[in-house]
Copies of this chain bind each other. A is one copy, B any other.
Amino acid sequence: MNPTAAIVLIGDEILSGRTQDSNGNHLAKHLTEAGIDLKEIRVVPDEHAVIVGALNALRGAHSHVFTSGGIGPTHDDITADAVAAAFGVSISVRDDARAILATNYDNPADLNEMRLRMARIPDGAILIDNPISKAPGFSLGNVHVMAGVPVIFEAMVAGLLPRLTGGAPMRSISVRVDKPEGEVAAGLARIAADFPALSLGSYPFVKGSSFGTNIVARGTDAALLAAAEAEILTLQ
């Protein structure tokens, strides 16, 4: 069995529709390649109790929980405190995090009180490197806390993932059929029954006035996938 994961995206700006999240999709692709099965993505508002509740619901249910957002210097950056509260540990400015932040500033006074908020790390956490803007993320237990800005999030993911133990990479094949779903559904159900070790999905699309279907098979066994692909091609 592969390890499982959930992603918690923290931010009113996604829920208001102002921002289209891309971090969830980015991490989803990399987890698939790493053989870690992503089972849930949850977008929550900048509300302490809701973040704590989501973390506690998900960290018990999955091997890993990844968060995005809310670790900057402003008053609405409350993720680190919520993680500390979820684990019941204290949080304070940590010397190693402060030293990393300080490398950003020639003038020590520029590391002001608000910026020092970014060096507040829950007790027991391991820092996650931020090669873009220094302010680190952190892992506490199985919860991995990263920035919301996509370039920083992606750099943190690149540093973090090799540290985690993955499973068998999930592979997939995709076949485009220029027929509506209703014409391939019966054949597809037969193929799905023939390949119980694979997960078969069917994704309809509309192009102009015509309907088509992308059929995707997923699994860890390349030979089984090739056999299923041959069957799916007969639906074209």
Within 8 A of B (CB), among A1-53: 11-22, 24-32, 38-46, 50
Residues of chain B lying within 8 A (CB to CB) of residue A13: 201, 203, 216
In the complex with contacts A15-B39, A41-B42, A216-B13, A74-B114 CB distance below 8 A: no
Instruction: Sort chain A's interface into a size bin.
Output: 35 or more
Taking the complex as formed, is A106 at the interface, i.e. its CB lies under 8 A from any CB of chain B? no
Residues of chain B lying within 8 A (CB to CB) of residue A73: 181-182, 185
Determine the distance from Cα of A118 to Cα of B181 in the docked complex, in whole angstroms: 11
Taking the complex as formed, is A170 at the interface, i.e. its CB lies under 8 A from any CB of chain B? yes
Contact yes or no, A76 B15, CB < 8 A: no
Binds B, one of A87-95, A160-168, A186-194: A186-194
Contact yes or no, B182 A149, CB < 8 A: no
Shortest CB–CB separation between residue A38 and chain B, in angstroms? 5
Taking the complex as formed, is A115 at the interface, i.e. its CB lies under 8 A from any CB of chain B? yes
Taking the complex as formed, is A206 at the interface, i.e. its CB lies under 8 A from any CB of chain B? yes
Interface residue from B26, B133, B185, B201 paired with A114 (Cβ < 8 Å): B185
Determine the distance from Cα of A152 to Cα of B188 in the docked complex, in whole angstroms: 23
Within 8 A of B (CB), among A174-221: 174, 181-182, 184-186, 188-189, 192, 199-206, 211, 216, 218
Taking the complex as formed, is A72 at the interface, i.e. its CB lies under 8 A from any CB of chain B? yes
In the complex with contacts A40-B42, A182-B114, A16-B170 CB distance below 8 A: yes
Contact yes or no, A216 B18, CB < 8 A: yes
Contact yes or no, B18 A172, CB < 8 A: yes
**Apart from A15-B40, A114-B182: 9 A-B pairs, beta carbons within 8 A:** A15-B38, A17-B26, A18-B216, A39-B44, A72-B181, A72-B204, A76-B192, A112-B185, A152-B206
